[in-house]
Amino acid sequence: MEKINDRLYNWASILDPATREQAERTASMPFIYPHLALMPDAHLGKGATVGSVIPTEGAIIPAAVGVDIGCGMMAVRTQFTADDLAGRDLSVLHGQISRSIPLSAGRHNKSIRETAKPRVEELRAMAGVKQADGAVPHWPEQLGSLGSGNHVIEVSLDEGDRVWLFLHSGSRGVGNKLASIHIRRAQEWCRSRGIELTDRDLAFLQEGTPEFDAYIEALRWAQRFAYLNREEMMDRVVDQTGRFLTSTVERAETVNCHHNYTEREKHYGRAVWLSRKGAISARTGQWGLIPGSMGTASYVVVGRGNEESLMSSPHGAGRNFSRTAARKRFTRKDLDGRMAGIAWGHSDAFLDEHPDAYKPIDQVMADAADLVEVRHTLRQVVNVKGD
């Protein structure tokens, strides 16, 4: 760990100057306590750095949570092994999953699935649903949809050749819309009070105001939507895997965790609003998930409870190149080679997800050695993404 200053602690050995400067600006906000923790996968974000843990007293920065509220990972270890997959055409399973779950930005279910109905009812009973209804009236149809970018569904094998089902997604269009509304409100709130900011996306809401309360209500609703969205998708992945292998899936282990969210937590003896923007909670003994990128390993981990990191760890590999730069830099031929042996979408649309567009996941995990303990290393054999 590198102590950049009293307000900024850093675990990233790969850290470009622009990302460091952005983190320093965020850490200088007057309500940061005790310090901002920069994770090994840190890279430039909107306002606040992706891969940062931001504790605040009496205020919250909506953009420090991000627009995909509640984004995270879910994984299930099954009873199957590599032997059960041997000799089978995994592109068939890829197709089954792709047809069962709406992929890509803007895609959603045509109707509410039976498995989703109790989850929709739970969300309708929560405070915050009026905001969701006003933002995206058809949000129930979004429950159980993946999205695009680095959101992914994978079938993987661990170090013992056991089959895992693994997915990454968040609160979809409704979460994005809610976040965008409250980011604008924070900017308006600061502007109306003459508060000068070094970055307009560091606009904040003060605790005790109606604007703050409305954001917390929307935030908690969207975080729950994201969690249930992953559950709904996993139910479908489990179902399709069972159909493919003609045997009911047994869930031996299950992990479901956010990595874009805010919770009320206690650190260094004081209660704070802790925003993890691209980071997972890593309290002692707590299970978590750290994905790599296309064609690389992902990890099932257990937290070490590192106090200086605010009991957090990285959420993935972290980008090395922007999506635009990646599309210019990498070739389809190279991506095909990197994905050899994996059933995937075979599309130029995924060039910006090339493994080398991200930091080396092995280095990220080495940097995180005092934050988490690796329990399982996963390598994908099926990779389903939306373009």
The per-residue pLDDT string of the chain (387 residues; one tens digit each, 9 = 90 and over) reads 999 999 999 999 999 999 999 999 999 999 999 999 999 999 999 879 999 999 999 999 999 999 999 999 999 999 999 999 999 999 999 999 999 999 988 889 999 989 999 999 999 999 999 999 999 999 999 999 999 888 999 999 999 999 999 999 999 999 999 999 999 999 999 999 999 999 999 999 999 999 999 999 999 999 999 999 999 999 999 999 999 999 999 999 999 999 999 999 999 999 999 999 999 999 999 999 999 988 889 999 999 999 999 999 999 988 888 889 988 898 899 888 888 999 998 888 888 888 888 889 999 999 999 999 999 999 999 999 988
Domain that holds residue 86: 2-385
Q: How far apart are CA 170 and CA 166, in angstroms?
A: 14
Question: Of these residues, 35, 108, 315, 376, which one is catalytic?
Answer: 315
pLDDT at position 86 is: 96
Q: How far apart are CA 232 and CA 68, in angstroms?
A: 17
Please state the pTM of the whole predicted model. 0.95
CA distances from 301 to 13, 175, 280, 313 (A): 20, 27, 11, 10
Q: What is the 3-state secondary structure (H, E, C) of the chain?
A: CEEEECCEEECCCCCCHHHHHHHHHHHCCCCECCCEEEEEEEECCCCCCEEEEEEECCEECHHHHCCCCCCEEEEEEEEEEHHHHCCCCHHHHHHHHHHHCCCCCCCCCCCCCHHHHHHHHHHHCCCCHHHHHHHCCCHHHHCCCCCCCCCEEEEEECCCCEEEEEEEECCHHHHHHHHHHHHHHHHHHHHHCCCCCCCHHHCCEECCCHHHHHHHHHHHHHHHHHHHHHHHHHHHHHHHHHHHHCCCCCCCEEEEEECEEEEEEEECCEEEEEEEECEEECCCCCEEEECCCCCCEEEEEEECCCCCCCCEEECCCCECCCHHHHHHHCCHHHHHHHCCCCECCCCHHHHHHCHHHECCHHHHHHHCCCCEEEEEEEEEEEEEECC
pLDDT at position 80 is: 98
pLDDT at position 365 is: 96
Counting every residue written for the chain, the total comes to 387
Cα–Cα nearest to 355, from 337, 373, 382: 337
**Beta-sheet strand order (sheet of 260-267):** 2-5, 8-10, 36-43, 50-56, 270-277, 260-267
pLDDT at position 319 is: 85
Domain count for the chain, please give it: 1
Q: Catalytic site residue 94?
A: no
In CATH, what number is assigned to the domain containing residue 98?
A: 3.90.1860.10
